[in-house]
Homo-oligomer: A and B are copies of this chain.
Amino acid sequence: MKYPNNMVKKRENNISYGNRGMDLEHLLNLSNRYYEEKNEALIFKKPTPIGIVDVHYSERGKVIDKAYFKSPSTLDYNGLYQGKYIEFEAKETKHKTSFPLHNIHPHQIEHIRRVIFHNGIVFLVVKIQNLVYLLDGQDFLDFIDSEKRQSIPYSYFLEKGYLIKEKIDPPLDYLRIVDQVYFGGNL
């Protein structure tokens, strides 16, 4: 039975390569679309806020002639899961030993504090060492508040983070970790 085994292996390799080639944002967007189609959750990437400088009116509507990107004061993704508010930021780093904190703006750190205050679910999704971790917002703040380092060492993700499985569908099944961490669910 060598043939079927090889087939499976090849397929897994392909998918793994596929996922690895795609950036984190794309994998999360595919996962969110999957969750939406399966009626599991409604989570979307927010449009990047822009400042519009010039527009003109064409037959087909308003056209923007000049605009710039604003720096975000909230996180990348937000939405609804089982009645609860959920918000997270997704970042990947090429660094092997740590996640540099300049990836998260000071406004965003304040925002994370506020979401926790209002009992929302908030976390980071960080791709480091080609693995994807969910780091709870409070664990992130605990690090910031107690350490003076400018980056979170990889060991902190091993200690406090939750590894998100890469799958076929959805490519990043982060809601299973959300179940475990925020809903006390049985996986």
Contacts and interface: CB of A to CB of B under 8 A. Distances in A.
Nearest to A73: B44
A39 interface: yes
A86 B80 CA distance: 9
A174 to B, nearest CB: 16
Contact of A83 (B78, B79, B84): B84
A62 interface: yes
A69 B61 CA distance: 8
Chain A interface size, as a band, is: 35 or more
A53 to B, nearest CB: 9
A118 B42 contact: yes
A63 B68 contact: yes
A20 interface: no
A114 interface: yes
Interface of A: 36, 39, 41-42, 44, 46-50, 60-69, 74, 78-87, 111, 114-115, 117-120
A63 B61 contact: no
A44 to B, nearest CB: 6
Given A47-B49, A47-B50, A63 B64 contact: no
B46 A82 contact: no
A117 B83 CA distance: 9
A179 to B, nearest CB: 15
7 contacts: A39-B118, A41-B118, A47-B47, A47-B49, A63-B67, A64-B68, A81-B118
A85 B80 contact: yes
Contact of A85 (B64, B68, B85): B85
B83 A119 contact: yes
A175 to B, nearest CB: 12
Contacts of A47: 46-50
Nearest to A60: B68
